[in-house]
Chain A
Amino acid sequence: MATVELHINTRKVNIDVDPDMPLLWAIRDFVGLTGTKYGCGIGQCGACTVHLDGNAIRSCSVPVSVVGSQKITTIEGLSEKGDHPLQLAWQQEDVPQCGYCQAGQIMNAAALLRGNARPTDSEITTAMSGNLCRCGTYQRIHKAIKTASTMNSKS
């Protein structure tokens, strides 16, 4: 066990955990933010996607000890009022079905838009193909990313 300080969204949190524990479980079971989901635990589904210093990572595959002082952003911290262009576009295009994969989808898409404000169709498809959706919302996810990319960013 070791004490780890996490910079997560706007908070700093100290937790006492096994340093090998994946960041996913630290976020969910120790910090108590459950928007980030467990889907596979091996980097295959993307449900656990969060940002480390703005880059999308699979939190199930990163030990909590390597995070250090990097800033973690989870779905709860993506925007203050739930009004990130992607969150608005997801509503407008009625994207989610069960919703379980969607935090990961949105976090992955947010990292894409951060580096590429107007991605092409194939850039979207390539960037999003690591995120599984068993309900089959791909067509709408694609459309909503397009929609978001044409909205004026509020930040």
Chain B
Amino acid sequence: MERRDFIRSAGVAGGLLLSFQELIAGSWETKLVAPGAASPALGDFVRIDASGDILFQFVKHEMGQGVATAMAQILAEELCADWEKVRIDFPNADMQRYQNDRNGGHDTGGSCTIIYQWDLLRKAGATVKQMLIAAAAKQWNTTPEQCYAEKHYVFQRNTSKKLAFGALALSAARLPVPARVELKKASDHQIIGKSKPAKLIPKIVTGELKYGMDIKVPGMLYAVIARCPVFKGKLKSFDAAEAMKVAGARKVFSTQRIAGLQLNAPYMPYDIREGVAVVADSFWAARQMQAKLIIEWDEGGNGKLSSEDFEEMAWNRATHRTDPTGFTGNANAVANLSHVRKTLRASYVFPQQLHSCMEPLNCTAHTGENGCEIWIGTQAPHLIDSEIRRVFGFSQEKIKMHLFPSGGGFGRRYYPDMAVEAAFISRQAGNLPVKMIWTREDDHQANLAHLFQHMEYQAALDKDNNLYAWYEKEIRTYTWSARYMDPKLPSMAYAIPNVRYDFEDMIQQELVHSSAWRGVDGHGRFYGECFLDEVAAELKRDPFEFRVSLLNGGKDTYVGDAIPVHGSRILRVLQMAAEKAKWGETLTPGRGKGIAVSTFGYSYCAVIADVTMHDNKLVINKMTIAIDCGKVINPSGVEQQMIGGIVWSLTALLYGGLPIKNGRAMHTNFHENKLLRMNECPPMEVHFVDTDEQTPGGVGEVSSPLGVPAVLNAIFAASGKRIRKIPLEMQGIGTTLREPIK
């Protein structure tokens, strides 16, 4: 619903609005909204309407990671709101108004949302509360010190007087904004730290929640694109005669390759394939049309290549001396290993694979002469804004963007290509409103994917069997820039005297365009946890004890920015996981446990997989997860993210891959590209590490890389089999459906 409509339909007499901008600037100001007024001049993040309900103006993207609820909790806590009276509102994108945090306002990625919103939202809540108190004090002719707020009311001390927030909103809005506010002590928190079901659930379980896919605007047509099945291939010719005979057919036209800016700041790695767009009265008609197109492609060089060819190229790069694109660590770490007792080497491969968001990609666009309106679920409205301006030449004021939650984003919805494609089609269709939908088949055949990673490891052991040097060479198909990506890896906290990490990009050679994928840096990096196990095995050390000894009591290591990798926190999650999973207990033959640890978004996570292997058949008995995400906002939400992340990685482990033959993706839909199902999902337990940390970390991407290394290590423990490439399906390892979840 439009804000305007809401105001009208709710008959709100007035509201209290605070602007993000001004919160940041420190010169805060309130604005009134009169009934039926147009959008307020200032951006608002909180409104208390006359009924007393708080409408939290949620400007980030909710895609299942739970930030809408967590952010509302932070705000509601300081506001002393009644949680039941807090609602989530999705305002339109506004590039001026909502540049409210270090991540750029709307930007939702990299597990950063809660980290950057923590201070801002607490201040915001406390500010509104203080103004409500001031309004009540004025009305009662007393001082604010004589009043306090609790659960949506302001009370006067030692009296029976109280006033509801809703009744105070209007007068509070007329008061000056306090220059300073005091925040609650953590020990007084009543909403932060408590499990709260996600705010959107009532709408989800009744089918009311609108995703981008569910939008209908007047006069809207539907579009589907037949994209070139070979990356960087070109359209030669097409015959649409049969397609145009479909009832409801409107238009057919070619689409162009539109690439984001390449490898130079500001780098925007997307690359829309050439194709043929069909436009029709309904999605079904468009789909029929797409099937009836006869298209000739010029496949180019990629049309002759398959996954095996690409992997061989990567293998050659990895195993021959080449110049790295970038590196970090000690340049001479492995320059001279003549004195070491032994060196170990291993190659690991993490294949490309899809995001498979349950809501297929889609965008509705309506272009005009010099502007456009867009309806979309996106992690990055600011990138859509800048790319639409760049490609179409529209000015910022002429781009109106309606934002919706998404049925999964996982990094894929960070890229602006859907909006660029939809706007292009709308324009070609004669500036008509068009909803562009990727069919699930399109998703399999022409989408972005997790990068390809070939990891080449080397470890040197000195004569006393100490780990003297660690070398990692990563061949990857994706990077945000030409420099090293400054990852924070747990291994960086290990006491190894000589380490060097190289990376080389193969962006020009890739057969499928790469992108961020729930975990951002690339999951292949976490094979380091497997190679570490190989070193432990060589030394006949217990993998858990070996890690503990390398952590050397847990020191801080600085990598990339001012926030260190905390060895002590790695140590604690490892210890908690080991304790809860009964690491070290005697196991029957065929059973084994494997451990892996990660850090991301300033959070730390350790996972222990408990598996049984019989005749190349794997059963995952249990996954135990220990998490230290600093200050916990919503334990239930964190638990969901931990478990969801492991389900994500188990899909990668068992099935993940995007096999290419002659440039074309072999998988067409979920019967070939399998995702983990309930009958394959092992029981999981999540344990929180006790911590004094006062700030929250991100939780969406810290467990997601861990299922693969933890299970691979467990398979070795159970069977002595070392697997260095996924998916298991392709490595001769079958899975057995486990016992039902208890």
Contacts from A to B (Cβ < 8 Å): 1, 17-18, 21-22, 25, 28-30, 32-42, 44-45, 47, 74-76, 78, 82, 86-87, 90-92, 94-103, 106, 120-122, 124-126, 128-142
Closest CB of chain B to A105's CB: distance in Å?
Answer: 10
Q: How far is the CA of A137 from the CA of B66 in the complex (A)?
A: 13
Q: Is the CB of A121 within 8 A of B741?
A: yes
| CB-based A-B contact count at 8 angstroms | 200
Q: Is the CB of A96 within 8 A of B204?
A: yes
Closest CB of chain A to B292's CB: distance in Å?
Answer: 14
B551 in the interface (beta carbon within 8 A): no
Secondary structure class of chain B's binding surface, majority of residues: loop
Contact of B64 among A94, A129, A135 (CB under 8 A): A135
Q: How far is the CA of A53 from the CA of B333 in the complex (A)?
A: 70
Most chain A CB inside 10 Å of its own CB: which residue of B248, B356, B440, B645: B440
Q: Is the CB of A96 within 8 A of B201?
A: yes
The closest CB in chain A to the CB of B208 belongs to: A35
B587 in the interface (beta carbon within 8 A): no
Q: Is the CB of B202 within 8 A of A129?
A: no
Residues of B within 8 A of A92 (CB): 197
Q: Mark B717-742, 1 if CB is under 8 A from A, else 0.
A: 00000000000000000000001111
Q: Is the CB of A99 within 8 A of B64?
A: yes
Q: Is the CB of B64 within 8 A of A124?
A: no
Q: Is the CB of B207 within 8 A of A132?
A: no
Residues of A within 8 A of B63 (CB): 98
Known: A131-B678, A134-B358. 20 other contacts (CB 8 A): A18-B285, A25-B284, A29-B222, A33-B207, A38-B440, A40-B440, A40-B670, A42-B670, A91-B205, A94-B197, A96-B64, A98-B359, A99-B201, A103-B207, A129-B678, A129-B679, A133-B358, A136-B643, A138-B741, A139-B681
Closest CB of chain B to A123's CB: distance in Å?
Answer: 8
Within 8 A of A (CB), among B184-226: 195-198, 200-202, 204-211, 213-214, 216, 222
Q: Is the CB of A98 within 8 A of B282?
A: no
Closest CB of chain B to A127's CB: distance in Å?
Answer: 9
Q: Is the CB of B202 within 8 A of A91?
A: yes
Of the A-B pairs whose beta carbons lie under 8 Å apart in the complex, a sample of 7, sorted by A's number, is A17-B282, A97-B644, A100-B408, A103-B205, A128-B678, A129-B679, A136-B646
Within 8 A of A (CB), among B633-673: 636-637, 640, 643-648, 669-671
Q: Is the CB of B198 within 8 A of A121?
A: no
Q: Is the CB of B197 within 8 A of A97?
A: no
For B, the interface residue count at a CB cutoff of 8 angstroms equals 69
Residues of A within 8 A of B441 (CB): 41
Q: How far is the CA of A37 from the CA of B357 in the complex (A)?
A: 13
Q: Is the CB of B681 within 8 A of A37?
A: no
Residues of A within 8 A of B439 (CB): 41
The closest CB in chain B to the CB of A89 belongs to: B205
Residues of B within 8 A of A17 (CB): 282, 284
Contacts from B to A (Cβ < 8 Å): 62-66, 195-198, 200-202, 204-211, 213-214, 216, 222, 247-248, 282-285, 288, 356-360, 405-410, 439-441, 636-637, 640, 643-648, 669-671, 675-679, 681, 683-684, 739-742
Known A-B contacts A21-B284, A39-B358, A139-B683; A99 and B200 likewise in contact (beta carbons under 8 Å) = yes
Residues of B within 8 A of A29 (CB): 216, 222, 282-284
Q: Is the CB of A34 within 8 A of B207?
A: yes
Q: How far is the CA of A103 from the CA of B65 in the complex (A)?
A: 18
Q: Is the CB of B681 within 8 A of A40?
A: no
Q: Is the CB of A90 within 8 A of B407?
A: no
Residues of B within 8 A of A21 (CB): 282, 284
Q: How far is the CA of A77 from the CA of B671 in the complex (A)?
A: 30
The closest CB in chain A to the CB of B647 belongs to: A136
Q: How far is the CA of A136 from the CA of B439 in the complex (A)?
A: 22
Q: Is the CB of A39 within 8 A of B440?
A: yes
Residues of A within 8 A of B358 (CB): 37, 39, 45, 47, 98, 100-101, 132-135
Q: Is the CB of B206 within 8 A of A91?
A: no
Residues of A within 8 A of B679 (CB): 125-126, 129
Q: Is the CB of A87 within 8 A of B206?
A: yes
Most chain A CB inside 10 Å of its own CB: which residue of B198, B214, B284, B358: B358
Residues of A within 8 A of B741 (CB): 121, 125, 138-139, 142
Residues of B within 8 A of A86 (CB): 205
Closest CB of chain A to B706's CB: distance in Å?
Answer: 13
Known A-B contacts A39-B358, A137-B644; A82 and B678 likewise in contact (beta carbons under 8 Å) = no
Residues of A within 8 A of B285 (CB): 18
Residues of B within 8 A of A129 (CB): 677-679
Residues of A within 8 A of B204 (CB): 90, 96, 99, 102-103
